[in-house]
A and B are shown apart, each in its own frame.
Chain A
């Protein structure tokens, strides 16, 4: 790992000014993605601005919304009474990320800012139609994820929290990579007051909505309704773990299981 300057931010605003005062500074959350990347020398920031002192943790739930601070760990979300009551699928998703030590450090803000094509949280943000609140603006889930490891965030913008609207029912099912637990394919299905949403992670370069499946489920919210809809394998990921054809097949299987698991 190349050396860098380490600074602790006292707030999201402070983090932004420290980033702007640095050469090529980066925010540090749980470090579960950034530090391994730096160890491989695939990233060499001039400064790391640690968000652990920026008061960005915590979960609040109202009747309509569950709000999760950017620095809240996966383990906290997985074990939160508020989250398990309002959106059980979200608590389950968080509890299935990586392994216990990763969940003890990794954060929701870091996960969505990183936007790994195989990460779990992006599926929940897109699938529930959540809103990402930064220290500058609100970004709707539909506009947040831009491509592989790319988001709508500016270099110096800090995620403060994510607001998840409570769905009528929702479920997330993934086919995990047996080594890392990242999603080879993961599908988040939600029935909300504004319609059915289906978000797919792991299969493509970036999380996406399966609009054909959404239309089929709007007519008939049952696993069988998806029997005739298929996802094209064009542009899907292919690697040593799964071919594009297999991933396309898995999207259908995971989606049907997710619908079946909805109440």
Chain B
């Protein structure tokens, strides 16, 4: 089996994987980082979004072997100890989640947006979140959270 090594949330990790192992399975099953979710098998829901070399990527649509030698951030890597990341804080303050299943992907996408655009408009937030589906909230408070979180990140 091929061996892979990568940095996840600042920590160097390595392992042996089958070629077909999806990156999201390597993260959840091998690394036991279960904050990254799997909500579909059609690459459409965005619950699995993580950052690979700083860019938002669907971890369910990338092979672990493709991520060899890359730098990965998952939802677990955002907070600083007990202090939530400003985007996490904004979701809490603005009631940006109900069941929370979509939230890790929403927040990882939102942080990627905020890095490109520190003051996104409501339309820009809605456009950027096109690949993240939520079954609960109706999106309204998610959009509010992302706008507040982006401001708080600057």
Contact = CB atoms under 8 A, between A and B. Distances in A.
B66 A52 contact: yes
A52 B57 CA distance: 15
B15 to A, nearest CB: 15
Contacts of A50: 66
Interface string A23-58: 000001001100110111000000010101000000
Interface in B76-110: 109
Given A31-B63, A36-B43, A52-B66, A101 B19 contact: no
Interface residues of A, number: 28
B41 A6 contact: no
Q: Which of B18, B57, B66, B132 has the most chain A CB within a 10 Å cutoff?
A: B66
B20 interface: yes
Contacts of A98: 130-131
A48 B57 CA distance: 20
B130 A105 contact: no
B130 to A, nearest CB: 4
B34 interface: no
A179 B41 contact: no
A28 B128 CA distance: 26
B112 interface: yes
B19 A100 contact: no
A36 B58 CA distance: 11
A238 interface: no
A31 B18 contact: no
Interface in A71-128: 75, 98-102, 104-105
A20 B9 CA distance: 39
Contacts of A32: 43, 61
A32 B57 CA distance: 10
A5 B131 contact: no
Nearest to A181: B130
Contacts of B130: 98-100, 181
Interface in A1-18: 1-6
Nearest to A178: B130
A99 B63 contact: no
Contact of A5 (B19, B113, B132): B19
A3 B18 CA distance: 8
Interface string B64-84: 011000000000000000000
A28 B61 CA distance: 12
Nearest to B18: A3
A62 interface: no
Given A3-B20, A100-B56, A101-B58, A179 B65 contact: no
Contacts of B46: 99, 101
Contact of A31 (B2, B42, B49, B62): B62
B44 interface: yes
> In the complex, which of the residues A1, A6, A52 has the most CB atoms of chain B within 10 Å of its own CB atom?
A6
A180 interface: yes
A104 B55 contact: yes
B108 to A, nearest CB: 9
A119 B23 CA distance: 26
Nearest to A176: B130
Interface in B23-43: 41-43
Contact of B41 (A3, A40, A180): A40
A35 B55 contact: no
Contacts of B55: 75, 104
Given A6-B65, A31-B62, A105-B58, 5 more contacts: A3-B20, A4-B19, A48-B63, A101-B57, A179-B44
Interface of B: 2, 18-20, 22, 41-44, 46, 49, 55-58, 61-63, 65-66, 109, 112-113, 128, 130-132
13 contacts: A1-B22, A2-B20, A5-B19, A28-B66, A31-B66, A38-B20, A40-B41, A99-B46, A100-B113, A101-B56, A105-B62, A180-B44, A181-B130
